[in-house]
Amino acid sequence: MPPFNAASWRTLISSVASDAKFANPATESQLIAVEHSLGISLPQKIRELLLEFDGVTADYSSGLVWSAEDIQKRNQEFRSLKDFRELYMPFDHLLFFGDDGGGDQFAFAIHADGSIHKDDIFRWEHESDARSWFAGSFERYFQTRFK
Residue 86 pLDDT exceeds 90: no
What pLDDT, on a 0 to 100 scale, did the predictor assign at position 68? 98
Nearest Cα neighbor of 32 from 68, 63, 67, 84 is 68
DSSP 48-83: HHHHH-S-EEETTTEEEE--HHHHHHHHHHHHH-HH
What pLDDT, on a 0 to 100 scale, did the predictor assign at position 2? 58
Nearest Cα neighbor of 116 from 92, 88, 134, 142 is 92
Digit-coded pLDDT (tens) for 100-146: 999 999 999 999 999 999 999 999 999 999 999 999 999 999 999 98
Residue 60 pLDDT exceeds 90: no
CB-side neighbour CA atoms (13 Å) of 92: 7
**Which helix (H) or strand (E) is 94 found in, with range?**
strand 94-99
Residue 3 pLDDT exceeds 70: no
Domains and CATH numbers, the chain: 6-145 (3.40.1580.10)
Helix boundaries (H) for the chain: 6-16, 28-38, 44-52, 68-80, 82-87, 138-145
